[in-house]
Structure 1
């Protein structure tokens, strides 16, 4: 079986960064799994169709990245009506991507959080007609959101964080000539580093006052044009 194409991991945090301008105040990474023993959820055809809508991907990505939020906060963030975000959040909940946050259930408006444990979409899903189109929509939307956060960091975010955070940030591209088994081992070793950090910070609630969300974007792929342009 081909390796997972995309994988999301989630930390359920009590922090929330959804007011307008949140990127200016919260430049950084994806939450890690608060319960690392929870198995990754494989996305099947039915659940994939439930996610394959641009706004649903954006809502899910925002909950994964920034933590629990209400339909109103998400509507303000994406310039949508509360009715629209409420509807799409219910659809995401129906397909198991989000759930009500039990820690915030007593307020006037319900808070939603990404379902813990992570999800994975296998490469085979991309080559099956309409299902493949749905998979590509999901991948494209997630990639667009990731790219937007990276571009914002380079253009503006770097200048908005304390110096020690800016100096610790990494932006690197490396090219290696590898054999297939070496390529597979490289990916496994990189993921092992992230897994170790997930376990190290898992369940650290409340987060320390000086902690920030830090995003790790990891892509390894063979260059398609071996001989250059």
Structure 2
């Protein structure tokens, strides 16, 4: 089955995501996989009514959808839109769209940083040693031209995409026996120019 295309977030769809809880719900579905409104309510300390409402708003704007392979009756499972989404901060800069884009980026960054900090402080102690020894935490500084930075980003993305295709469909519910020990692994790839005036 062909992979769904990535959705480009524009000013209209951005309004459907520009709420802290909606970003958290969407991020949880992207990170941990399908869940019900009740499960997400427990994760974030919210009421089921609140998570249900915000999930419906996310669905209305195309960020999430019902998972047809899970759930029965009233307890619906939701999943992130399969193709993922991308946001161009330059296109959305300025005015209300710029503020909304900043909120969305900040919330995603906060969630990613929290997961990394948890891993570095106590998370590594909660898994077998082989998992900790298999991880990478690396920072490099390169002097690049814009086109080289773009090429580096494309190459790094291609590596991650290849791994994504390799393990696509691996799921706790139907994983083969040899995949039973698989865990969710977060791969954070960031490239950005460092200016002398940024941060000391």
Q: TM-score, normalised by structure 1?
A: 0.80
Residue of structure 2 in register with 1:16 after alignment = none
> Are 1:103 and 2:74 counterparts?
no
Contiguous gaps of at least 5 residues in structure 1:
1-34
> Are 1:93 and 2:55 counterparts?
no
Deviation at 1:58, TM superposition (A): 0.2
Alpha-carbon distance in 2 for matches of 1:99, 1:137 = 23
Contact kept? 2:89, 2:98, Cα under 8 Å = no
Residue of structure 1 in register with 2:196 after alignment = 225
- Count the aligned residue pairs: 195
- Greater RCO, CA 8 A, separation 6+: 1
Residue of structure 2 in register with 1:49 after alignment = 15
Cα deviation code 1:94-153 (max 9, x no counterpart): 111111111123144111111111111113234131101101100000000000000000
Q: TM-score, normalised by structure 2?
A: 0.91
5 Å-filtered alignment, 1:141-160, equals 141-160=107-126
Alpha-carbon distance in 2 for matches of 1:226, 1:36 = 45
Alpha-carbon distance in 1 for matches of 2:13, 2:139 = 34
Deviation at 1:179, TM superposition (A): 1.9
Deviation at 1:228, TM superposition (A): 7.8
Alpha-carbon distance in 2 for matches of 1:141, 1:100 = 23
> Are 1:214 and 2:182 counterparts?
no
Alpha-carbon distance in 1 for matches of 2:2, 2:133 = 29
Alpha-carbon distance in 2 for matches of 1:226, 1:133 = 23
Secondary structure of 1:171's counterpart equals coil
Cα deviation code 1:15-70 (max 9, x no counterpart): xxxxxxxxxxxxxxxxxxxx663211111111100100000000000011011111
> Are 1:177 and 2:143 counterparts?
yes
Going from structure 1 to structure 2, the CA distance change for 1:143 and 1:227 (only over 3 Å counts) comes to closer
Alpha-carbon distance in 2 for matches of 1:187, 1:149 = 23
Secondary structure of 2:78's counterpart equals strand
Contact kept? 1:125, 1:131, Cα under 8 Å = no
Q: CA RMSD in A?
A: 1.7
Contiguous gaps of at least 5 residues in structure 2:
none
Deviation at 1:204, TM superposition (A): 3.5
